[in-house]
Amino acid sequence: MARVLAREQLPQWSSTRDGRDRLDLLTDDVPVGARALRADRIVYHPGDTAARHYHVGCDHAFFGLEGSGLLHIGDEVHRLEPGGVIHVRAGEEHWAENDGDANFSFVELWAPPPEDTVWTEDDMCTWRRDA
């Protein structure tokens, strides 16, 4: 049976590292019973950047929604724009950054859900749940 949730029912988070915002779409905190897929929507404000990391045991895809930004994958740098998709394989180090002066947002998809996230520098991204 399909589950329909309004935005207000979805967990919303703020980065403790910078100005990023996260809206959970399919996670353990969204009670729809999804087991094989995880997804969220991230907004990077001008100047926001994530810490270098990789995911264990899952592929990761980014689908551009608005604005544009950079996705670093290993030594390569790719621009993600609205409607574009970038695929990251399990174990590939990656991070995103907003190098522009407008918001940059995308949907992240993981399949299957990651077994772990490994931060590769003395930096990491953490989130606090918004009220």
Give pLDDT tens digits for 88-103. Answer: 999 999 999 999 999 9
Nearest to 69 by CA among 53, 48, 38: 48
**Which residues are CB-contacts of 26 (< 8 A; sequence separation ≥ 6)?**
32, 34, 37, 38, 39, 40
CA angle 76, 77, 81 (to 5 degrees): 140
Give pLDDT tens digits for 8-45. Answer: 999 999 999 999 999 999 998 898 888 899 999 999 99
- 18 in Cβ contact with 48 (< 8 Å): yes
| Integer angstrom CA distances of residue 4 from 10, 26, 74, 85, 112 | 11, 12, 37, 25, 22
- 11-121 adopts what CATH topology? Jelly Rolls (2.60.120)
Q: Where are the domains of the chain?
A: 11-121
Read off the amino acid at residue 80.
Answer: L
Question: pTM, whole model, 2 decimals?
Answer: 0.94
Residue 68 confidence (pLDDT): 98
Cβ count within 10 A of residue 123 = 13
The H or E element containing residue 109 is strand 104-111
